[in-house]
Amino acid sequence: MSTDNNTEHIECLIIGSGPAGYTAAIYAARADMKPVVYAGMQPGGQLTITTEVENYPGYPDGIMGPEMMENFRKQAERLGTDVRYGMVTKVDFSGKPPYKIIVDEKKEVLAETVIISTGASAKWLGIPSEDKLNGKGVSACAVCDGFFFRGKDVAIVGAGDTACEEASYLAKICNKVYMIVRRDEFRASKAMQHRVENTPNIQILFNSETDEILGETKVEGVRIHNNKTGEKTEFPIQGFFVAIGHQPNTEVFKPYIDMDETGYIKTIPGSSKTNIEGVFACGDAQDKIYRQAVTAAGSGCMAALDAERYLSAKHAPTLTA
Ligand code: NDP
């Protein structure tokens, strides 16, 4: 990457515009760090594809996900954040800051600090009815949307810890939970498996794969097949949850940033610091456990405070004897 005299110099570059990124921006703007947010492929992040958010404190009547993210953006902008459309397509974290960052494969900026808040994307089954009924009874977040299915029958696909945790959560709210598991065993930890096995209103369907989610304008049922016997079964449900994992959006940072085997960024416990000086991570890009808007926002605050402290320490006058 080359730089020229026209290359923009940014004190605090925030990559991603979900609750983590905008909260980092709010704090960074108030600390006079003149943050620039590149909003990414899906400005506003995962909450822009949810319906009502009822578990974010401060909204006693709930709020629609897209509207909430609009509010986050307005608050960040009012305090002085420069929010821009654009995807970071390349970074160079070799050497010392400022780091060269390429946006949309052509624009080059230099950043003194970088806050990574690129989030994660839910994995989907990839069948047409899942797409058609997304937000109309199909969801990838039981904690966000389970409440809407109080007393109803639902299905959940997956056999990992998330699926087990979400099935247990749904079982407390819903009448019946069908768990659709593609193999004849779970991937989840034994403790989580036992929990679902011992919950009377969870029915586990092993060796089962989803053919179609039924319904035109809302979920009305599901058709599955047994991959050992070929037998097809249809049953009525009102909600269909997909819990087959998430993919953190961290590919672009891979050459430099320490991550776990699935691509979640490793941060130093109790902080947002990564292995690279001046680069901080927050939100779902580094959190595979909690993944809530409020926890993402909290970690965004941490990242901005860490970035501010980093810059203050760097610019503090050094005392010589
Ligand atoms: P995992 O990758 O662990 O599990 C994904 C599950 O989805 C697997 O059972 C997999 O099946 C199934 N699956 C994948 N693709 C399909 C498909 N196309 N059709 C049907 N089923 C499919 O993801 P999780 O989100 O569950 O967990 C991610 C990480 O987070 C794990 O390390 C987990 O331990 C951790 N976690 C920990 C929690 C805790 O400690 N409280 C809570 C939640 C997550 P198969 O097994 O056949 O591959």
Answer whether residue 3 shows pLDDT above 70: no
Q: Is residue 17 part of a domain?
A: yes
Burial of 251 (0-12, 13-18, 19+ CB in 10 A): exposed
Answer whether residue 215 shows pLDDT above 60: yes
Is 37 in the same domain as 138? no
Pick the closest to residue 224 from 179, 187, 186 (CA basis). Answer: 179
Provide Rg for the chain, Cα atoms: 22
Is 94 in the same domain as 143? no
- Establish whether residue 284 lines the binding site of ligand 1, counting it when its CB lies within 6 angstroms of any ligand atom: no
CA distance linking residue 291 with residue 20, whole number of Å: 11
Is 168 in the same domain as 115? no
Is 78 in the same domain as 215? no
Is 67 in the same domain as 102? yes
- Establish whether residue 130 lines the binding site of ligand 1, counting it when its CB lies within 6 angstroms of any ligand atom: no
Catalytic pick from 12, 61, 131, 141? Answer: 141
What's the distance, CA 317 to chain centroid?
39
Is 256 in the same domain as 311? yes
Is 27 in the same domain as 72? yes
pLDDT at 270: 95
Residue 119's pLDDT band (boundaries 50, 70, 90)? very high
Element (DSSP H or E) covering residue 251: none
- The residue whose C-alpha atom lies closest to atom 7 belonging to ligand 1 is 244
Ligand 1 centroid to Cα of residue 32, in Å, is: 41
Q: What angle do CA 46, 50, 54 make, to 5 degrees?
A: 110
Q: Mind listing the pLDDT tens digit for each residue in 231-242?
A: 999 999 999 999
CA distance linking residue 305 with residue 12, whole number of Å: 11
Q: Tell me if residue 174 is catalytic.
A: no
Mean pLDDT of 281-304: 96
- Establish whether residue 162 lines the binding site of ligand 1, counting it when its CB lies within 6 angstroms of any ligand atom: yes
Closest approach atom of ligand 1 to CA 161: 26
| Greater pLDDT, 320 or 23 | 23
Distances (CA, A) of 128 to 16, 102, 131: 28, 35, 5
- Establish whether residue 158 lines the binding site of ligand 1, counting it when its CB lies within 6 angstroms of any ligand atom: yes
- Establish whether residue 183 lines the binding site of ligand 1, counting it when its CB lies within 6 angstroms of any ligand atom: yes
Ligand 1 centroid to Cα of residue 1, in Å, is: 38
CA distance linking residue 76 with residue 55, whole number of Å: 21
CATH number of the domain within which 55 lies: 3.50.50.60
Q: Is residue 187 part of a domain?
A: yes
Element (DSSP H or E) covering residue 22: helix 19-30
Mean pLDDT of 286-293: 92
Answer whether residue 2 shows pLDDT above 70: no
Q: Is residue 32 part of a domain?
A: yes
pLDDT at 315: 85
Instruction: Out of 217, 242, 267, pick the residue that ends a domain.
Output: 242
Residue 47's pLDDT band (boundaries 50, 70, 90)? confident
pLDDT at 143: 83
pLDDT at 141: 87
Ligand 1 centroid to Cα of residue 272, in Å, is: 25
Q: What string of DSSP letters covers 172-185?
A: HHSSEEEEE-SSSS
Is 79 in the same domain as 228? no
CA distance linking residue 125 with residue 245, whole number of Å: 11
Ligand 1 centroid to Cα of residue 20, in Å, is: 24
> What is the domain extent for residue 184?
124-242
Q: What is the mean pLDDT of the chain?
A: 94
- Establish whether residue 187 lines the binding site of ligand 1, counting it when its CB lies within 6 angstroms of any ligand atom: yes
Q: Mind listing the pLDDT tens digit for each residue in 150-184?
A: 999 999 999 998 899 899 999 999 999 999 999 99
Is 104 in the same domain as 83? yes
pLDDT at 4: 52
- Establish whether residue 76 lines the binding site of ligand 1, counting it when its CB lies within 6 angstroms of any ligand atom: no
Pick the closest to residue 1 from 116, 113, 87, 105 (CA basis). Answer: 105
Extract the tokens encoding 24.
């980092």
Q: Quote the crossing angle between the two packed helices 19-30 and 65-78, to the nearest 10°.
A: 20
Greatest C-alpha distance within the chain: 82
pLDDT at 1: 44
| Greater pLDDT, 321 or 166 | 166
Q: Quote the crossing angle between the two packed helices 19-30 and 293-315, to the nearest 10°.
A: 40
Q: Is residue 320 part of a domain?
A: no
Mean pLDDT of 44-62: 84
Q: Is residue 283 part of a domain?
A: yes
Q: Is residue 150 part of a domain?
A: yes
Instruction: Out of 206, 227, 242, pick the residue that ends a domain.
Output: 242
Q: Is residue 321 part of a domain?
A: no
Q: Is residue 270 part of a domain?
A: yes
Residue 258's pLDDT band (boundaries 50, 70, 90)? very high
DSSP symbol at 112: E
Answer whether residue 296 shows pLDDT above 90: yes
Contact of 143 with 40, CB cutoff 8 Å? no
Lowest mean pLDDT among 14-18, 63-67, 77-81, 197-201: 63-67
pLDDT at 50: 66
pTM for the full predicted model: 0.78
Is 68 in the same domain as 204? no
Lowest mean pLDDT among 136-140, 181-185, 224-228, 313-317: 313-317
Extract the tokens encoding 160.
């990992």
> What CA dihedral angle connects 139, 59, 42 and 111, to 10 degrees?
-140
Is 254 in the same domain as 107? yes
Q: Tell me if residue 301 is catalytic.
A: no
- The residue whose C-alpha atom lies closest to atom 9 belonging to ligand 1 is 159
Residue 45's pLDDT band (boundaries 50, 70, 90)? confident
Is 39 in the same domain as 74? yes
Q: Tell me if residue 145 is catalytic.
A: yes
Ligand 1 centroid to Cα of residue 262, in Å, is: 11
Q: What percent of the chain has pLDDT over 90?
A: 84
Residue 48's pLDDT band (boundaries 50, 70, 90)? confident
pLDDT at 41: 85
Instruction: Out of 201, 219, 242, pick the residue that ends a domain.
Output: 242
What is the tally of structural domains in the chain? 2
Q: Mind listing the pLDDT tens digit for each residue in 71-89?
A: 999 999 999 999 999 999 9
Q: Is the peptide bond before 128 cis (omega within 30 degrees of 0)?
A: no
